[in-house]
Amino acid sequence: MSSIKIRTKRRDGHTQIRLLITHPMANGRGKDKLGKAIPAKHITLLSITHNDLQILTAHLSASVSKNPYFDFLLKEGNQGDTISVSWTDNLGETDSATYIVK
């Protein structure tokens, strides 16, 4: 199961894209209940494509909160278009998801 949830909504000729990514986004400075340091684990690269055309590349850091939420408008977008999202974290783990605009 993907860690990425994608939702879209068409309005006023634009497409609203909402993303929720399940990820701990640990900055490496926290401690667990036993007082041991929690190692850094955060998304470093977020990539979004619309019909195989790159529309967003974001380089993130440890300052982004746990389970980050992103919301933005795409000037275009029609029913049946494909939105693809992928991320890579600082430990090399990756995930991706594809969504068809409704």
Predicted confidence at residue 14, as pLDDT, reads: 93
CATH of the domain at 64: 2.60.40.10
Predicted confidence at residue 58, as pLDDT, reads: 97
Predicted confidence (pLDDT) per residue in 16-29, tens digit: 999 999 999 999 99
41 neighbors 61 (Cβ within 8 angstroms): no
pLDDT tier, 9 (very low <50, low <70, confident <90, very high otherwise): very high
Burial of 8 (0-12, 13-18, 19+ CB in 10 A): middle
The residue segments making up the domain with residue 20 are 4-30+37-100
pLDDT tier, 13 (very low <50, low <70, confident <90, very high otherwise): confident
Whether the pLDDT of residue 90 is over 90: the answer is yes
Q: Determine the Cα–Cα distance for residues 88 and 11; give it in Å rounded to an integer.
A: 31
Q: Determine the Cα–Cα distance for residues 16 and 34; give it in Å rounded to an integer.
A: 43
Predicted confidence (pLDDT) per residue in 70-82, tens digit: 999 999 889 999 9
Domain count, the chain: 1
* pTM, to two decimals: 0.91
Whether the pLDDT of residue 1 is over 90: the answer is no
